[in-house]
Amino acid sequence: MNNAPIRVLLVDDSMVVVLLLTRILTAPGTGIEVVGSAKDGAEALRKIQLLNPHVVCTDLQMPGMNGLELTRNIMAKYPRPILVLSSAVEKGKHDDNIYELIGAGALEVLAKPQGAVHGNLAEVGKELISKIKLIAGIVTFTRHQRHLEQANTLEAEKKAAASNSKPIVTNTKESSLIPKSTQVIAIGASTGGPQALQKILSSLSPKLSIPMVCIQHVTEGFTEDLVDWLGLSCPPDRARYQKW
């Protein structure tokens, strides 16, 4: 995007939150421009067509079309980087939708900025600004609705199979491409990584006996949630993880 400001669309049903985020993101020197706001997913979809933002920053829980539905629609119709801000990411709180969001195409899920009421906007918004700048440069691709439906069906089948301890038939093509001399597989990822890990792990054959080391940057307190979510993508006898 060269030296042009990063165009951001804010989606939140709270005007107070929208005003707070706008103050944080448009502070001098951020290189970010808030081009508009929407109070729900349906309004956001209309404004994406009109404003063509580089990044969509959305709440999760909203009336009407929520953040998860919005993410699915954006990736199917107007693919672009999506960052979700949710109170569910606060330490000690957990929400199953977080990894559903990542599976649907969101590149990052963060807690809503806290403490800005005391005027410390620069410090509170530091991570948010950094994440927006990072994901703004990531190329996204269309996720057709039929593919999302197939993915949801596959995930439901895997959950049922895991609970019944039945074997899962997985795609072995990727596994067959691994050189026979390989002793360890190492994967490192940060923003957008969980989606890639899910795709890779779900394609592995149950017969693959090579140990894997996965290093993934994740919000503090959500390591076990990530492990559980990835476990649903793996054959039961492969879904064993050790976290550090």
Q: Which domains does the chain have, with CATH numbers?
A: 6-135 (3.40.50.2300), 167-231 (no CATH)
Q: What is the mean pLDDT of residues 76-91?
A: 83
**What's phi and psi for 34, nearest 5 deg?**
-85, 110
Specify whether the CB–CB gap between 9 and 53 falls below 8 A.
yes
Q: Name the average pLDDT for the chain.
A: 76
Per-residue confidence band for 109, with pLDDT thresholds at 50, 70 and 90: confident
Place of tokens 């709440």: 59
CA atoms within 13 A on the CB side of 181: 0
**Closest alpha carbon to 127 in 17, 25, 237:** 25
Share of the chain above pLDDT 70, in %: 66
CB 130 within 8 A of CB 191: no
pLDDT of 138 higher than 50: yes
Mean pLDDT for 175-183 is: 72
- Per-residue pLDDT reduced to its tens digit, 184-239: 888 887 766 777 777 777 777 767 778 878 887 766 656 666 777 777 666 554 44
Contact 41, 65 (CB under 8 A): yes
Please tell me the predicted confidence (pLDDT) of residue 103.
81
pLDDT number for residue 42: 96
Which pLDDT score is estimated for 142?
Answer: 75
Cα separation, 86 vs 94, whole angstroms: 10
pLDDT the model gives residue 75 = 93
Angle made by CA atoms 103, 48, 27, in degrees to the nearest 5: 90
